Amino acid sequence: MHKRGFWKTRFGFYLAAIGSACGLGNLWRFPYVVGENGGGAFVLLYLIVAVVIGLPLLIGELSLGKFTRRSVLSATSYIDGIHQHGNRFVWVGRAAVVLSLIVLSYYAVISGWVLHFTTQFLVGVFSPESFAQRGNMEVLLNNGWLQMGLASVHLLLTVGIVLKGVQEGLEKWIGYMMPVFSVLLVALVFKSLSLSNSANAFRFLFYPDFSKLTWSSLIHAVGHVCFTLSVGFGTMVTFGSYLRDADHIPTAGARVTIVDTLLSLFAVLILFPVALGASNTPLTDPGLLFEVLPRFLSQLQGGVVFGIAFFICLYLAALGASIGLLEVIVSNWVDRSKVSRSFATWITGGAAFVLGGIAAVVSAYMRGMRLEGRSFLEVMDSLLINWCLPVVALGLSLVVSLGIKTVEKEKLFVDQNKIASVALFPHWLVMIRWMAPVVIGVALLLQVVGLILTGI
């Protein structure tokens, strides 16, 4: 096995982990999933699932990486090796890597959308008419080749950064962007809360009306929590494998979860007051962010400049997340075979380009077609995030709970200087061993029941 890089500073780990967690999942996906599931009750469900399932799983993944000092594929086969029980867990590692590749491709397409709006805002500085004509979703959704081109630009950038290696590559980029993005987001929250619709939006988002939940809402919450925390892809196993001995995993996990959740809440606070005013955009539309925000920004005074800054930051967030995804696949590949890092990076980037390009072109051609009222993109998204991802996350909870001995887990979790970690350890064990598998299992079952009842 090649020598592993370590984070130069603890900050470096946080930048990469938060950079991977915070991305399009928070700003693009969360709002429309909340819209789809009727608002407040789902937000509450989401928050509970994040604490009870997401955080324990995140801690579990980081622990698996730190314990084995390997990426997910080697880690799972290493665990199989320790227990000498054949290939019991390695499927989890394989599934996580395949999932990462598929998600990287489709993430590249959505990142391409962000690039489109970034360039349109830039053009808008010089030519407002052009922005009015081209700065919308219709232009994009009808043009699969444009989406493919934008996705390829995004993948090239991602490949370029990952080629530079873990430390220089990851740490630098995300660090520059975070403070700027935080300021922009806070400014936007204030702006949007001053709109006349903000009381309605608040009510929609925080008043739980449980009758709005459906059979699939629980799995939607589980799937999205895993997606947004980058759990179930092996990303956090890789990041954990680079942690130094002194780093405390539960603290790291909690911080990543808090920052990520706050960002998601900011996203809905920004979007819903605007979206509820723009009556013709359905809240359930996967294009919600892109339908609503550019129009809103372009109407503000100085909005174009704001739009440029916002979309550049959003793009960098998407880039941070893509880097995490590509990094997992590459580090797994390099760990397992003799290929060079650059070869693995180029080939993976190329594969993502082919898959993402096909998805973009197919979805543009199939725009008019609907499957049970859903577009191609929605069907793919649901298949990946609401079916495959929870299954892999469940597998990972089993790898950690059954594959690593309790004493080892205790060493990874407990820091004698942090009394809370002693008290919380048994709770984490229960969550990862019982809560996570049972809740995910039940959620999948409810989704199946829902499908049967609604007659597919």
Inter-axis angle of helices 10-21 and 249-277, nearest 10 = 40
**C-beta of 203: minimal distance to ligand PHE in Å?**
26
In the complex, minimum distance from the CB of residue 325 to ligand PHE, in angstroms, rounded to a whole number: 4
Q: How far is the CB of 227 from ligand PHE (least distance, A)?
A: 6
Q: Quick one: which segment of 16-24, 70-78, 378-386, 432-440 binds ligand PHE (CB under 6 A)?
A: 16-24
Q: Which of 14, 227, 413, 428 binds ligand PHE (CB under 6 A)?
A: 227
End-to-end Cα separation, the chain, in angstroms: 48
Is there binding between residue 386 and ligand PHE (CB under 6 A)?
A: no
Here the tokens at position 284 are 């359930």
Rule CB under 6 A: say whether 385 interacts with ligand PHE: no
* CA–CA distance, 282 with 137 (Å, rounded to integer): 14
Which token pair is 452? 């049967």
Stretch that binds ligand PHE, among 146-154, 276-284, 318-326, 419-427 (CB under 6 A): 318-326
Which one, of 437, 411, 361, lies nearest residue 66 by Cα? Answer: 411
The identity of residue 77, as a single letter, is S
Selection from 43, 426, 58 nearest residue 266 by Cα: 43
- Which residue in 321, 355, 377, 431 binds ligand PHE (CB under 6 A)? 321
Dihedral sign computed on CA atoms, order 406, 412, 414, 420: negative
Stretch that binds ligand PHE, among 63-71, 222-230, 340-348, 415-423 (CB under 6 A): 222-230
Binding residue count for ligand PHE, defined by CB under 6 A: 14
| Closest of 369, 349, 314, 325 to residue 141, by C-alpha | 369
Look at residue 142 and give its three-state secondary structure: coil
What type of residue is 170?
A: L
Residue closer to ligand PHE by CB (options 45, 58) is 58
Cα gap 34→213, rounded to integer Å: 10
Torsion over CA of 428, 434, 439 and 441, rounded to 10 degrees?
140
Question: Could you say whether residue 24 binds ligand PHE (CB under 6 A)?
Answer: yes
- Pick from 230, 241, 281, 298: which binds ligand PHE (CB under 6 A)? 230
Closest CA to 116 of 132, 140, 138, 141: 140
Residue nearest ligand PHE (C-beta atom):
25
**Lookup result for tokens 């994040």:** 50
Residue 228 makes contact with ligand PHE by CB under 6 A: yes
Where does this chain touch ligand PHE (CB under 6 A) — which range of 17-25, 176-184, 391-399, 443-451? 17-25
Q: Is 325 in the site for ligand PHE (CB under 6 A)?
A: yes
Kindly tell me which residue out of 7, 13, 15, 25 binds ligand PHE, with binding defined by CB under 6 A. 25
Nearer to ligand PHE, 137 or 323 (CB): 323
User: Contact residues for ligand PHE (CB under 6 A)?
Assistant: 20-21, 23-26, 227-228, 230, 233, 235, 321, 324-325
